[in-house]
């Protein structure tokens, strides 16, 4: 089994760990769950980053109202905050979401595009503290708020050698 283990960093993760916003723009949504959700890069700065996703029947949690699954919004905020941390670190270092608290302020209406803005407001040697907002285009009228933390992991944990 062990000889099958090979580094499983995302394909867009640069080998030298150098941070480059273009790598995020072009690469983060090319596979897996982010691709399935249709996340797109919107904008970003030194310690923040905004992504979006379109409403889709497949992502609905309540068929009567057409309201999106709240977990689609969690995924969006998870990615936006994670990428905001890379932006603040100016590096791609292996990290894992430690915890997230999401408050749902209102439902995201049927058909509406959802934006997720993540910010890393404090970086320590091991922990990145983040917060963020989901909205439908007006950040002053939020759908949801998130707070939480990411923890930097060893590369071996990141690629799955030590997780037992």
Could you tell me which residues come within 8 angstroms of residue 124 by beta carbon, excluding any fewer than 6 positions away? none
Rule CB under 8 A: say whether 163 interacts with another protein.
yes
- Residue 31 or 45: the one with the smaller Cβ distance to another protein is 31
Q: Which stretches of 5-145 are DSSP H helices? A: 21-27, 32-37, 70-89
**CA–CA distance, 129 with 101 (Å, rounded to integer):** 12
Show contacts with another protein in window 10-29 (CB under 8 A). 10-11
To another protein, the closest distance from the beta carbon of 2 in angstroms equals 15
**3-41 residues labelled b (16+ CB within 10 A) or e (exposed):** eeeeeeeeeebeeeeebeeebbeebbbeeeebeebebbb
Show contacts with another protein in window 79-138 (CB under 8 A). 79, 96-104, 107
- Residue 99 or 140: the one with the smaller Cβ distance to another protein is 99
Show contacts with another protein in window 61-80 (CB under 8 A). 61-63, 68-72, 74-76, 78-79
Rule CB under 8 A: say whether 32 interacts with another protein.
yes
To another protein, the closest distance from the beta carbon of 126 in angstroms equals 15
**CA–CA distance, 25 with 21 (Å, rounded to integer):** 6
**CA–CA distance, 40 with 43 (Å, rounded to integer):** 10
Show contacts with another protein in window 42-61 (CB under 8 A). 57-61
- Specify the DSSP element, H or E, that contains 67: strand 67-68
To another protein, the closest distance from the beta carbon of 137 in angstroms equals 21
Q: Residues in the site for another protein, rule: CB under 8 A?
A: 8-11, 31-37, 57-63, 68-72, 74-76, 78-79, 96-104, 107, 157-160, 163
């Amino acid at each position: 089994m062990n000889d099958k283990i090979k580094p499983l960093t995302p394909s867009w993760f640069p080998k030298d760990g150098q941070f480059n916003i273009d790598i995020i723009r072009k690469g983060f949504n090319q596979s897996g769950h982010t691709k399935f959700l249709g996340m797109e890069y919107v904008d970003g700065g030194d310690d923040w980053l905004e992504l979006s996703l379109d409403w889709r029947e497949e992502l609905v949690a309540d068929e009567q109202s057409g309201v999106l699954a709240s977990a689609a919004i969690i995924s969006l905020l998870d990615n936006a905050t994670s990428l905001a941390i890379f932006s603040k670190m100016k590096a791609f270092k292996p990290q894992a979401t430690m915890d997230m608290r999401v408050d749902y302020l209102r439902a995201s209406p049927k058909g509406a595009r959802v934006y997720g803005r993540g910010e890393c407001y404090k970086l320590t040697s091991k922990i990145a503290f983040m917060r963020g907002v989901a909205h439908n285009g007006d950040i002053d009228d939020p759908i949801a708020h998130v707070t939480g933390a990411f923890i930097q992991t060893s590369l071996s944990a990141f690629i799955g050698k030590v997780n037992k």
